[in-house]
Structure 1
Amino acid sequence: MLFAARSAVALYRLLDVSPVFSGDHRITRLFTLVPGSDFGVDVLSAIEAVGGRTVPWSEACAGTYDLVVAASPKGDVPMLRGTHVLLPHGAGFNKSLPEEGSADSASGLDPAYLLRADDAAPIALHAVAHPEQLARLAAVAPQAARNTKVIGDPTLERVLASYPRRDHYRTALGTGPRKLLVLASTWGPDSLIRRRPELPAQLAAHLPHDAYQLALIVHPNERSLLGTYELTERLAPALDAGMILANPHEEWASVLIAADALVTDHGSTALYYAAPQDRPLVSVSRDCAELIPGSPMDVLLGHIPELGSAEAIEDAVRAYRPGTGRAAAQAAFAYQGSALNRLRGELYALVGLTPPVLGNPLRLLPDPAPAARAATAFDVHAEVTAEGARIVRHPAGMGPPGHHLAVEHGAATEQLTRSAGLLYRHSAPSTAAPADLSWSAGGWTRHVLAEYPGCRAAAAVRRDGPWLLDVRGHPQPYTVQVEPRPEGGRIARIDPAAAISAVHAWLITHRTKPAAPTVLTCHIGERSVRVLLRPATADETGREI
């Protein structure tokens, strides 16, 4: 069988379907790049990444195949000889692209591409996801609808099957007790990153670091047009603040499952997000010339809050009304939970084979990768009370300065390091080197305070705790220990650097040098935690970091 892809997004949909033949030695899976698309630049590298065998286009056109499976009807796909199967490469058929085919037809349901010439291979099976899509096609092109069947959405099957791994994905992303806010951008002039390119950085600057994590999903077509380098350079301020840029193959869906809220344009990613569970959705714009009136995305965008400024994001998320997203997903996807098995039966019938007894077409989504970059310097805003402190951290340089600048030593620039009021470092990773030279906690804090005379405090964060905080002018270092916070059967742990900033702000403001154990109440992000502060023992000061 031959998988024919003319763009990266079409290839990824084909890869979601490929496991319907898993475990079958009678099936040989080949790939080819269909020429002519502006978005084909990443297809060959994506095939290579999964280890697929590629057939050059000229060779593909010379052969005959038992199955030719494509996720787009456009281009030269009809030139391939064999039994043709057409799959959707999105959800809902929400767009009409006036520059392609019929101006009033949904992209993917356009008779201009579905009705093939007499000398071209016919489409033996056109799989759609919902009865409404079949009815829409039958109304404009009965002949094209003749071999169309409602199967469901194979990509959604992976999302639904993988949803129990939500906590696992959040752990992989390093989300912790924070809320994960995801932005989803389609491609083209009305997309989020074209209309509001500044929004990711604005949200990264506005949202408190200890309360929110930010991620962005970009349509593969946009990646193909820009290239990864150009895209990441444009997004550099938000990426430097720790925003996750999801991989376009599989990982985007893992990030969707992990999300607590989604900010979307008119792209169909929002429908995959809404199907497993009803969580908040916010739109960036309802004004889109491509959007087909009455389509699932059009209905969805008309019923969810619209985001004005980045500063209004929390209010927009709270304004979402439960039920809206699930209703839109129900209008886009039928046979939720059984689409792959339905498709498996149809494809095996086309090739005249009985499916093997063994083999499972469902593949769980892989773990998403954590942010490639991380904020390593923070403007820390503090409200200090007699009992503790409330702090809000923002990546340095993305807003006004705060009570102090906290910088991770060895991870930020020398300029930021010399400007820091608080320097901290984490335990060094273990090494297999036969010889090693490492710091003790107290040795490192004394060294840093001597090396940077403008720094008021240094802290060593050990993996097994407690943490050591050395304040300039105080007679001895302190240990800092945060009590884990139970929450509904879970244990929430905060970033040690945030707790140390809270303790540092309290000590500096009160100009106190406690000689006995002291319990502080620190408010960090959306949580309050109890922090134990006490003078460090000689053993604790001398422990290796």
Structure 2
Amino acid sequence: MTAPDAPLGVLFAVRSAAALHRLLDLLPVFDGDARVRCRFTLVPGSAFDADALAAVASSGARCLSWPEALARHHDLILTASPKGELAALRGPKVLLPHGAGFNKALAEEGSPHLPSGLDPAFLLTAGRRPLADLHVLAHPDQVDRLIEQCPPAGAAALVAGDPTLDRILASRDRREAFRTALGTGPRRLVVLSSTWGPESLLARHPGLPARLASRLPHDAYQLALVVHPNEYSRTGSFDLARQLRPALDAGLVLAGPYEQWAALLVAGDTVVTDHGSTALYAAALDRPVVAVCDGGTELVPGSPMARLLTAAPRLDPSGEDAADVLSAQPSAPGTRRFAEAAFALPGESLTTLGPELYKLLGLLPPPRPAQPRPLATPPSAPRTPAAFAVRARTERAEGAEGAEGAERTADGAVVVDIERLPPWTDLPYHHLAAEHGRAGIRETQSAALLYRRANSAPAPDTAHHHEYRTAADWTAEALADHPGCRTAAVVLSPTRCLVRRPNGEPFTLRIEPHRTTGTGRVRYTDPAAALCALHALLGAQHTPATTLTCRIDGTPYRLHLDTPAEADLQHLL
């Protein structure tokens, strides 16, 4: 009996985590094919090789040491960076794009003012032969630039689009699912994008995420941050989170170094960027792009990224104009036209590239065309911040306006506009609201509104002692234990809260969801935001009405004050 042929070996030669992520988007080309065996190796010498293979090693992929990789002949070698001793590896080599075109030049590496993707210092061997047997590019203009700078490498060029872009485009119909996972709701999701190096957003303006969080109301905007994998490698997840702690505590979503950044672009509404490639992927989705950095000497003049940043509106790094810039509707044509200068063949990268890879392997490709894998749904949203500085505009009961912009509805119900910001904002605010059990002691002691969110109490078992409070008892204790507290409340459900004021009996707050006319959509607000509005209204009136109206990010919600049901009073905490 004849033994089956041994599978052909495909080596993924990885220089950094960023390069690995690019290569992983090619894997569907080989899906279902037992004739192919995939292995990974780390090309030594990068300053950003920390945890470079962590994503594949944790999945059970087989990794070769660099000496092992050098000792073997490989049927195909795939890499997304021309740097390092790749020429020492034996086997046909395919070089793929490292980003969205050639937009960045690093003067300290190779030839001054030339991106590494165009630099003969990296693209040619010591014998002046092309490093790669196949040089994959995303757009015909990139081929022209490659031929201009390195004619021998240009002779091996193939335009095959961009596999990473195709994954993003294949995931567009998951936008609502992504936003649900992130807890975005009707808010505007603003994605900050920082590349690596001295001209990056975080290097130039490290406090920008926190400054934007202190200026943009929590109920109108959600902030997310995409950080280049090189920065994750350089800084480490622990220290990066430490540096961003104020913004994270204010609700910032920090994307993981793989895949999550692309899901945020699909879910996002606006991208605030430096000169990193992420902005061009956002432009391919026609997302509005706002520039906060110009790239300095790293940005290649005339590149698609340079043209995009020139046309983009600018954001003051102080964040003072953030609400105006981010809420403005673009009047010029969308950003997709800039991406079209960087990406060709949208949706066709794997079907274009797959046959070429199999040709180098000497095999017929599988009969089923390869399809890009849709992006994974982001992890569950971070918890709502534990404390807020609340800005409120209300009307006094006697009819005189207590603050600019207050009004009464046609049926006489009082209206209050609410904005919630981090407690450390430098903007003036009406009161501090804190979630008991999560906020710090200073915020809890200073809060005029103290609330907690009720989870169903576990049923007692026969093996342990148990003690509970009722919602009615907790509100009385909260007021007694915190002299500065003027409103104590328990959030019982998305539409019901039990509320108590000093020297008063508890009552139930019912929150009507907002039904959008003509769309069939129903919006539920965070009950804690409605409690902030109620606190402001009760403080402005001697005799509160039983029906009130608040506006949260411009959306009106009707609030009803009712005699509490026994179940509300006795809810166990």
TM-score of the superposed pair, with normalisation by structure 2: 0.90
Q: In 1, are the aligned partners of 2:80 and 2:95 still within 8 Å (CA)?
A: yes
Task: Tell me, in whole angstroms, the C-alpha distance in 1 between the residues paired with 2:58 and 2:259.
Answer: 13
CA distance in 2, matches of 1:158, 1:339: 10
1:364-513 residue pairs with structure 2 within 5 A?
364-370=374-380, 372=382, 374-385=384-395, 386=397, 387-400=414-427, 402-428=429-455, 434=461, 437-463=467-493, 465-486=495-516, 488-512=519-543
- The worse-fitting range, judged by mean Cα deviation, of 403-412 and 465-474 is 465-474
Distance 1:171 1:438 in 2: 33
Query: How big is each residue's C-alpha offset from its partner over 1:310-353, in whole Å with a ceiling of 9 and x where there is no partner?
Result: 12123323264443411110000000011121111211121122
**1:253 & 1:432 partners in 2: Cα distance?**
43
Shift of 1:360: 4.2
Q: Give the alignment of 1:11-410 within 5 angstroms.
A: 11-118=20-127, 122-276=131-285, 278-286=286-294, 288-308=296-316, 309-317=318-326, 318=328, 320-358=330-368, 360-370=370-380, 372=382, 374-385=384-395, 386=397, 387-400=414-427, 402-410=429-437
- 1:399-436 Cα offsets, whole Å, 9 max, x none, are 34522211001001122112111111112267588466
Please report how far the alpha carbon of residue 164 of structure 1 lies from its aligned counterpart in structure 2 after TM superposition: 0.7
Secondary structure at 1:402's aligned position in 2?
coil
Following superposition, the deviation at residue 106 of structure 1 comes to 2.2
SS of equivalent to 1:81:
coil
Q: For the residues of structure 1 that align with 2:478 and 2:294, how far apart are their CA atoms?
A: 53
SS at match of 1:28: strand
**How many residues matched?**
541
> How far has the Cα of 1:121 moved from its partner?
8.4
The residue identity in structure 2 corresponding to 1:85 is V
Q: Is the 8 A contact 2:12 2:40 kept in 1?
A: yes
Aligned counterparts of 1:461 and 1:511: Cα–Cα separation in 2 = 24
Question: Residue 337 of structure 2 aligns to a residue in which SS?
Answer: helix
- After superposition, the Cα gap between the structure-2 partners of 1:464 and 1:314, relative to the gap in structure 1 and judged at 3 Å, is closer
Could you tell me how far 1:162 is from its partner in structure 2? 0.5
Letter in 2 for 1:536: P
Query: C-alpha distance in 2, partners of 1:219/1:533?
Result: 49
Residue 61 of structure 1: SS of its match in structure 2?
helix
Counterpart CA distance in 2 for 1:306 and 1:272 is 19
1:529 aligns with 2:529: no
AA in 2 matched with 1:68: I
Mapped partners of 1:322, 1:433: distance in 2: 63
Deviation at 1:437, TM superposition (A): 4.6
Give unmatched runs, 5+ long, in structure 2: 1-9, 398-413
- Could you list the per-position Cα deviations for residues 129-186 of structure 1 after superposition, in whole angstroms to 9, with x for gaps in the alignment? 0000001111222211111100000000000001110111111111111111111011
User: Does the aligned pair in 2 maintain the 1:239–1:374 contact within 8 Å?
Assistant: no
Instruction: Structure 1 unaligned segments of length 5 or more: list them.
Output: none
DSSP 3-state at the match of 1:126: strand
Task: For 1:205, give the aligned amino acid.
Answer: S
Mapped to 2, the partners of 1:56 and 1:429 lie a distance apart of 52
Post-superposition offset of 1:512: 2.3
Check the 8 A contact 2:350/2:370 in 1, yes or no: no
Residue pair 1:84, 1:121 contacting (<8 A) in 2 also: no
Distance 1:243 1:281 in 2: 19
Match for residue 409 of structure 2?
A: none
Query: Cα gap change, 1:24/1:271 in structure 2, threshold over 3 Å: closer, same or farther?
Result: same
C-alpha distance in 2 between matches for 1:207 and 1:230: 25
C-alpha distance after superposition, 1:177-218 (max 9, x if no partner):
111111101111111111111111110100011111111111
User: 1:175, 1:33 → 2: CA distance?
Assistant: 38
* Conserved 8 A contact 1:96-1:290: yes
**Contact kept? 2:451, 2:489, Cα under 8 Å:** yes
- Cα 1:94–1:7 change in 2 (3 A) is same
Q: What's the secondary structure of 2:26's corresponding residue? A: helix
> 2:20–2:53: 8 Å Cα contact kept in structure 1?
no
CA shift at 1:438, angstroms?
4.2
* Distance in 2 separating the partners of 1:224 and 1:433: 48
User: Could you say if the C-alpha distance between residues 219 and 432 of structure 1 is closer, same or farther in structure 2, counting changes exceeding 3 Å?
Assistant: farther
- State the Cα deviation string for residues 58-86 of structure 1 (Å, max 9, x = none): 10110111111000011111111111011
Letter in 2 for 1:20: V
Q: What's the offset of the Cα at 1:535?
A: 2.3
Distance 1:357 1:411 in 2: 56
Match of 1:4 in 2: 13
Helix, strand or coil for the counterpart of 1:2? Answer: strand
The 3-state SS of whatever aligns with 1:65 is: coil
- Report if aligned partners of 2:457, 2:572 keep a CA contact under 8 Å in 1: no
Counterpart Cα distance in 1 of 2:369 and 2:162: 20
1:482–1:499: 8 Å Cα contact kept in structure 2?
no
- RMSD between superposed Cα atoms in Å: 2.0
Q: Which residue identity is paired with 2:500?
A: D
Alignment partner, residue 406 of structure 2: none
> Shift of the alpha carbon at 1:452?
2.3
1:69–1:87 contact (8 Å) kept in structure 2: yes
TM-score by length of 1: 0.95
| Contact 2:472-2:506 at 8 Å conserved across structures | no
The 2-side partners of 1:361 and 1:153 are apart by 13
Identical counterparts, % of pairs: 49
Q: Which residue of 1 aligns with 2:410?
A: none
Q: Secondary structure, in 3 states, of the residue corresponding to 1:523? A: strand
Equivalent residue letter for 2:487: A
Moved more, 485-494 or 26-35: 485-494
Q: 2:570 corresponds to which residue? A: 542
